[in-house]
Amino acid sequence: MFNVTTAAAQEILAAAERSDAVGMGLRVAARQMSDGSLDYGMGFDEAREDDEPAVFDGLTVLVGAPSKPLLAGTVLDYVEVAPGHFDFIFLPVEERAAADGASAPQAGGGGGGGCGSGACRQCGG
């Protein structure tokens, strides 16, 4: 199951207010790249028939059927990736297990995504 931290949900809800997207869901999508890595994307969107919506701290997250298996076990977080610089990161199961021993989450290969109004621009999801 895909999960969203409280910090990420709060920041996304604040972004929705700033961009007149209040009430829209956040579409989260992933696609497999030719090198085996995953490319993540997110953006405000309306629900579709094949979506599996979930609510995290008041934020409705929409995941389409094609992305569901790729996002299983992934966590979307909002963290300080450099001093004074915060960003969204996707932490797949493998990276979360490796980061459990670390003192702070790593942005590394977790991938990032922008939060804008409209459909997911990175992966078309």
pLDDT digits (tens, 9 = 90+) for 20-49: 899 999 999 999 999 999 999 999 999 999
Q: With a cut of 60, say whether residue 12 has pLDDT above it.
A: yes
Band (52; pLDDT cuts 50, 70, 90) = confident
Strands 85-91 and 75-82: antiparallel
Number of residues that make up the chain: 125
Structural domains of the chain, ranges and CATH numbers in brackets: 3-110 (2.60.300.12)
Question: What's the whole-model pTM score?
Answer: 0.75
C-alpha 20/C-alpha 65 separation (Å) is 27
Q: pLDDT higher for 96 or 79?
A: 79
Which residues sit opposite 124 in a β-bridge? none
Looking at the chain, the whole-number percentage of residues with pLDDT higher than 70 is 74
